[in-house]
Amino acid sequence: MTHPAVDPDLTDRRLLLVEDDPTVAEVARSYLRAAGFLVDEVTDGFRALAALTEAVPDLVVLDRKLTGIDGVEVCRRLRVFTTVPVLMLTAPSATEDRIDGLEAGADDYLTKPFSPKELVLRVQSILRRTVSDSTPEAPFDLGPFHLDASARRVSRYGTALDLTAREFDLLAFFLKHPGQVFDRAALLRSVWGWEVGDLSTITVTVRRLRTKIEDDPSHARFLSTVWGAGYRFEVERSGDLPATEEGTR
């Protein structure tokens, strides 16, 4: 199998590979390094957290099944102090594992056994979204939200939101398309860049995002569900006026 092309914009980005299967780790390491990444490795959850407290890499490739503490708990703990992108490796057809990982704060997942080339492409895809555009977009305000896409920052009422890479991508997309309804398949294509994939990824990420932008996530004021159609993001444009109707779940 040929290696994916090296992306010069991503050369020398540092990755932390957390994998306790020596065979999987060797293959992943070989392909990631061939793609120009610097790869550090640990084999269990405790060592992963220790490494992350010393230096935060550009991305973490994290196995779901680990000795000591598993990948979901590692992800949950690291989200306390960093928004570093996380790609979680999960068991085949284990939908619950994928949902658990996404709810813990993973940005993406890849099921085992995986193509090493797909692993590299997924890593590159996530990292490209964190690279500032060569033609920066002008920051803008929408209601209480301020989006600085080039700096990958969003604030609400002047307070910066602590978002993962995927949460930022999703919120930025909605802020750029206020009032429009998007179903999960459209969001998967537009935000994740996938033509096919597990639609529960969208459901979980929307749920996580609501906990960070809504006063009451169970009664969404900004990011509402349009039953049978998808999701819609809306704010009062002439000042952030109180909502007159209860948001939808």
Kindly state the percentage of the chain with pLDDT values over 90: 59
- In angstroms, rounded to a whole number, what is the distance separating the alpha carbons of residues 222 and 245? 11
Domain 140-233 carries which CATH code? 1.10.10.10
pLDDT at 240 over 50: no
Q: pLDDT digits over 167-187, tens only?
A: 999 999 999 999 999 999 999
Q: pLDDT digits over 198-212, tens only?
A: 788 899 999 999 999
Q: Is 180 exposed, middle or buried (0-12, 13-18, 19+ CB in 10 A)?
A: middle
Mean pLDDT of the region 58-83: 91
pTM of the full predicted structure?
Answer: 0.72
Per the DSSP assignment, residues forming a β-bridge with 110 are: 89
Q: pLDDT digits over 40-67, tens only?
A: 999 999 999 999 999 889 999 999 989 8
> Which CA distances in Å does 72 have to 19, 47, 63, 66?
13, 15, 9, 9
Bridging pattern class, strands 181-182 and 159-160:
unpaired
What does the pLDDT read at residue 132?
52
Nearest Cα neighbor of 6 from 177, 187, 186, 127 is 127
The pLDDT confidence band at residue 149, using thresholds 50, 70 and 90, is: confident
- In angstroms, rounded to a whole number, what is the distance separating the alpha carbons of residues 234 and 125? 28
Q: pLDDT digits over 98-122, tens only?
A: 888 888 889 888 988 899 999 999 9
Per the DSSP assignment, residues forming a β-bridge with 38 are: 14
Fold (topology level) of 14-128: Rossmann fold (3.40.50)
Q: Where are the beta strands (DSSP E) in the chain?
A: 14-18, 38-42, 59-63, 86-90, 108-111, 140-142, 145-148, 153-156, 159-160, 181-182, 223-226, 230-233
pLDDT at 94 over 90: no
Q: Which structure tokens are listed for 174?
A: 């909605």
Domain ranges of the chain: 14-128, 140-233
- In angstroms, rounded to a whole number, what is the distance separating the alpha carbons of residues 10 and 58? 10
pLDDT at 144 over 80: yes
pLDDT at 243 over 50: no
Rounded to the nearest integer, the mean pLDDT of the chain is 87
- In angstroms, rounded to a whole number, what is the distance separating the alpha carbons of residues 172 and 163? 11
pLDDT at 196 over 70: no
Q: pLDDT digits over 213-235, tens only?
A: 999 999 999 999 999 899 999 98
Q: Which structure tokens are listed for 109?
A: 């997942």
Q: pLDDT digits over 8-33, tens only?
A: 888 889 999 999 999 999 999 999 99
The pLDDT confidence band at residue 246, using thresholds 50, 70 and 90, is: very low
